[in-house]
Amino acid sequence: MLDIKFVRENKEKVKENIKKKFQDEKLPLVDEVVELDEKIRKLKVDGDNLRKERNNISDEIGVLFKNKQVEEANTKKQQVVDINNKLTDIEKEEAKLKEKLQEKMMVIPQMIDDSVPIGKDDSENVEIEKFGEPFVPDYEIPYHADICEDLGGLDKESSGRTSGNGFYYLIGDIARLHEAVIAYARDFMISKGFTYCIPPFMIRSDVVTGVMSFAEMENMMYKIENEDLYLIGTSEHSMIGKFKGQLIDEKELPIAMTSYSPCFRKEVGAHGLEERGLYRVHQFEKQEMVVLCKPEEAMEWYNKMWSYTVEFFRSMDIAVRTLECCSGDLADLKVKSCDVEAWSPRQQKYFEVGSCSTLGDAQARRLGIRMKTENGNMFVATLNNTVIASPRAIIAIIEQHYQSDGSINIPKVLQPYMGGMEKIEKKLN
């Protein structure tokens, strides 16, 4: 959410930013919020003037009673009553207009960074850099779900009976591989100086609306019936919410945390082949990184964070690339974002395995997260980035380490987490 003072003083810049995001339907909001802000400020002035008048009259009443001018004092008291009634009306109107202003401000997108490429949707995202060789072996690589099933590691038929589409049972060595990569991701981020955290897996609605836009909330979140609670779609939601309403001493910044959680997403719509695989599911597990820092340090942290994800995947000998998200593909709270994509030798293209974003003070402003400085309190900057989202990381490992005999080589960094196992092979009956 933008600062209303910024909108007031930079109307055309805000409108130009909306155009860059191809959301022209939101252009009228800028004039509407400026008009509402003007009315609110006028009401505040009127209210302040009335309070000042009331204080002066109250002083006069004291003098009149002291001088035994009771009748005139009672007249003045009635004036105070009238002023109080006017103030009540003003305060009600002010509260009503502030609520309207807040609703509209929540919909106006964050100002994007000047470096963000302009484009309508994800088809216009821009490749930044490749890391590792995107090879294609001289033997066929089956669909990842078929590989897992052949190795006795996946059962979607049973999960269809218990839970429906978009769920799965991981079994045996594939389940163990899943846990190994999660554990390795945890230790990898701890080695980078991040504090490990396991957050709540449900959050209240005021936290949800603080960390994401209404459109994202509607498309992603599962609500708990008859409770003001939502299942998290990523641990970033809980981790940023942890600081809701807090005043942090600037000496405590930056705060860098890495968090584990299961994640739950609606994933609305049909997705063809991906419905029976592990790419697009309603339930998965994730290792996330979250940073709160001074606004001027945000871009430095942004570049550091996505590079950690690249380093993590390269340590498992997985070829990846980074992709700059264009303006039309940025969620409304984001200043800048890039995806990390892993190479799929089966599809001979890259697929998303993580996303890194800097959100400026958008989330902090919504949630009231400030830092205390010598020059007063100001909002912090927040950033988030995926270390891994499993099972997408599992797909990358399976495809890039699949062997012609149907086995999967386990990356060396994961072998200690699997009891020294070097390969996943089909079990002989």
Shared domain check, 130 and 98: no
* pLDDT at 72 (0 to 100): 84
Shared domain check, 187 and 71: no
Do the domain assignments include residue 117? Answer: no
Return the CATH number at 19. 1.10.287.40
Shared domain check, 129 and 101: no
Q: Does residue 271 carry a pLDDT above 60?
A: no
Do the domain assignments include residue 78? Answer: yes
Domain stops at, among 60, 80, 105 = 105
Positive or negative torsion for Cα 325, 330, 335, 338? negative
pLDDT digits (tens, 9 = 90+) for 180-197: 999 999 999 999 999 999
Band (pLDDT 50/70/90 cuts) for residue 58 is: confident
pLDDT digits (tens, 9 = 90+) for 335-373: 999 999 999 999 999 999 999 999 999 999 999 999 999
Residue 395: closest CA among 331, 356, 350: 350
Return the CATH number at 163. 3.30.930.10
φ/ψ (deg, to 5) at 62: -60, -45
Alpha carbons 115 and 97: distance in angstroms, whole number: 36
Do the domain assignments include residue 98? Answer: yes
Shared domain check, 305 and 247: yes
- The pTM for the full model equals 0.90
Do the domain assignments include residue 114? Answer: no
Q: Does residue 273 carry a pLDDT above 50?
A: no
Q: Does residue 270 carry a pLDDT above 50?
A: no
Do the domain assignments include residue 373? Answer: yes
The percent of residues above 70 in pLDDT, for the chain, comes to 97
Total number of domains in the chain: 2
Indicate the pairing of strand 247-249 with strand 370-373: parallel
Shared domain check, 305 and 194: yes
Alpha carbons 198 and 388: distance in angstroms, whole number: 15
Place of tokens 């001493």: 249
Do the domain assignments include residue 116? Answer: no
Shared domain check, 94 and 135: no
Shared domain check, 192 and 315: yes
Domain stops at, among 57, 79, 105 = 105
pLDDT digits (tens, 9 = 90+) for 97-155: 999 999 999 999 999 999 999 999 999 999 999 999 999 999 999 999 999 999 999 99
Residue 243: closest CA among 366, 368, 357: 368
Residue 364 sits in which domain range? 122-424
Do the domain assignments include residue 277? Answer: yes
Do the domain assignments include residue 115? Answer: no
Regarding predicted confidence, which is higher, 209 or 216?
209
pLDDT digits (tens, 9 = 90+) for 70-88: 888 888 889 889 999 999 9
φ/ψ (deg, to 5) at 289: -125, 140
Q: Does residue 51 carry a pLDDT above 60?
A: yes
- Work out the end-to-end distance of the chain between its first and last CA atoms, rounded to an integer number of angstroms: 60
Domain stops at, among 78, 105, 132 = 105
* pLDDT at 268 (0 to 100): 59
Shared domain check, 263 and 193: yes
